[in-house]
Structures are given as structure tokens and as C-alpha cells.
Amino acid sequence: MNLQQLKVFVYVVELQKLYLVAHKLNITQPTVTFHLNKLQEDAGIALFHTKTYHVIKLTEAGKALYHYASQIVALNEEMLRTLDDHRGSETGRLLIGSTHTPATYMLPSLLSDFKQQHNLLLSLDVKPARYIMEKIKYFELDVGVISHTSPDDADLIFEPLMKDDLVIIFHPEHPLARQSIVHPMDLQAYPLVAHEEGSSSRTLIDQWAEAHGVQFTHAIEISGSEALKSIVRLNLGIGMVSEASIIQELQKGELKACPIPDWTPVRTIYAVRHRNKLVTPALSLFWHMLVTSFSARNELL
């Protein structure tokens, strides 16, 4: 078996349609079928439950092969990207993964600045933290920016960038803006613009309120931090949002913020990369920009 056969096999498993694989690899559909047949012949065992490939369902042997083949294909692509980067190729790429908060509030301007300075194709995949860590672990992403409680993986390097815990937000003319110290029971006097029930932020807030005997009156229950901030900007209540989501509002003076009293920090935003991955010039530059950019943001909070 050879690399082209493994590529065809991996993409068939992932894309599920032979014509999509043919388009991706710029080959004909009969060629895709040929490579699959040859791969099974070389393997000496059936990899699929059907012979026609109309329905892609792997045998146990096929699943085992996919586990290793997907890593081989990913490493090959990583090798080619690295060589492109060192040659200064116009086709160089940096594959970035991010969770929602940094992808929405911090990375857009950073990526724009980086793109203006370096002629690279940037790709941003917004997914949950566990997904991104897994993709980096198997060399399918170059670097990640994730919000996490306590990541732990011996294969990965985690660089803390900033806290990503909740803070209290309110209108600049709200009574809380005149308080130097805020106690848990002080918040009970004001209506709360609440996150939707079931969200991670709502769960953390409800746990904190129960632990401190605080009974909030909900002004409105709303989905999404942007909508929540808009309501608070109208001075219709206080809110609790990720501190990373209010950088612009603090800069413009549209909102004020203070720490939640007796709050135990839970989440941090980390830069993540593989411990054994070759640090290319592009990755080194991006990593440095991440660290310095987030350091500057921390001074606003």
C-alpha cells in the first residue's frame, strides 16, 4: 500500500462519497475505486462491508486502518506545509483552531494584523476545546486558542493567555458604578439579564448564586452574549458575561465591569500547540503575536 491509496481511503471514510474524493484529489471516480480495491488487495482483508462503495461502512479491520492512516495522511500534509513555510512558498498555510469566545472577540483583529504582515493562508476552525486539542494532538491543526478550565495532556503545550471567567457588567450610570466594593447580597437588589437556561455561563452563575444565598430577579432571559450586552447597555439590568467579551465596550465607555464577589476562577484562555511539532517561522511568529496581544488586553481588565 502507498500514500495515495491511504489518502483515498481516509477521504472516502471522511467524505462518504466517491465523487467528492475524486474532486478533492483531482482524479476520476474510477481511479478512486481502483485505489480502494488495490488497498484491500494489498491489505489482504476486507476493509468495507460492501464491494460497491455506495454505502461506506468500515469493518473492524477498516476502522483499525483508518486510525493509523488518518495520522499518516495528516503528518504528510503537515510535512508539506512545513516545507512550504521554510521555502517562503505563497501556498504556505497556518491551521488554527479556536473556541467560541476567543474566535469571536479576540482573534479577528489579530488575524487581520497577522495577515497584513505575513503572506500566508490562514484557516480558522471554531469548535469545542476537546475537539481542537484532539486535532492538534494528531497534527491536523497547527495551533489552538481555547477557553478551558484545567487542560491536561502530556503531548500538548498550554500557554495561559488571560482569564476567561465571568464578570458583572452594568451601565456606566448604574449604582454599582459608584461602589468600590460589591458584596454578593448587593446584587440581589438589581434585576439580572440572564443567560438562557442550560448554557455553561448560566450554570456557573446559578451555582454561585445558590452557594451565596443570592436570589436574582430575572429582567429577561436571553440567548447570546451580544444580545445580553445590548440589554445591559440600555440600563435594564445587570449581567454576567465573559470578561474577554467586553474589551471594546470597556474601551468605548459603553459598559462598566467589576469582579463577581467571592468568585472562584474557573476558565482560562490558552494558546495550545503540540510538544513535538516543529516550530516553523510562521508558527513562531503567530505564537509570539498571541502572547503579546493578549498581554496587552489584560491591562484593560
The reply to whether 3-83 and 166-259 are identical in fold is no
Name the grid cell of 259. Answer: 469582579
- For cell 477521504, what's the residue? 11
- For the chain, the structural domain boundaries read 3-83, 92-163+267-298, 166-259
Q: What is the pTM of this model?
A: 0.58
What rounded mean pLDDT belongs to the chain?
Answer: 88
Give the separation between CA 142 and CA 283, rounded to whole angstroms.
7
Residue 231: what pLDDT? Answer: 95
Is the predicted pLDDT of residue 181 greater than 60, yes or no?
A: yes
pLDDT tens for residues 13-46?
Answer: 999 999 999 999 999 999 999 999 999 899 999 9
pLDDT tens for residues 99-111?
Answer: 888 898 889 989 9
Strand pairing category for 256-259 and 166-170? antiparallel
Q: Report how many helices (DSSP H) and strands (DSSP E) the chain contains, helices first.
A: 11, 10
- Of 18-32, 71-85, 149-163, 233-247, the range with the lowest mean pLDDT is 71-85
C-alpha pair distances (Å), 218 with each of 174, 190, 192, 193: 17, 9, 5, 6
Residue 90: what pLDDT? Answer: 45
DSSP 216: P
Is the predicted pLDDT of residue 89 greater than 70, yes or no?
A: no
Task: Work out the average pLDDT over 197-201.
Answer: 77
Is the predicted pLDDT of residue 83 greater than 70, yes or no?
A: yes
Task: Work out the average pLDDT over 189-193.
Answer: 95
Is the predicted pLDDT of residue 176 greater than 90, yes or no?
A: yes
Is the predicted pLDDT of residue 268 greater than 60, yes or no?
A: yes
Task: Work out the average pLDDT over 228-253.
Answer: 91
CATH hierarchy code of domain 92-163+267-298? 3.40.190.10
Residue 86: what pLDDT? Answer: 65
The alpha carbon of residue 149 and the mean position of all alpha carbons in its chain are separated, in whole angstroms, by 14
Residue 169: what pLDDT? Answer: 96
* C-beta of residue 283 within 8 angstroms of C-beta of residue 273: yes
Fold of 3-83: Arc Repressor Mutant, subunit A (1.10.10)
Task: Work out the average pLDDT over 138-154.
Answer: 88
Fold of 166-259: D-Maltodextrin-Binding Protein; domain 2 (3.40.190)
Is the predicted pLDDT of residue 218 greater than 80, yes or no?
A: yes
Residue 65: what pLDDT? Answer: 94
Residue 233: what pLDDT? Answer: 95
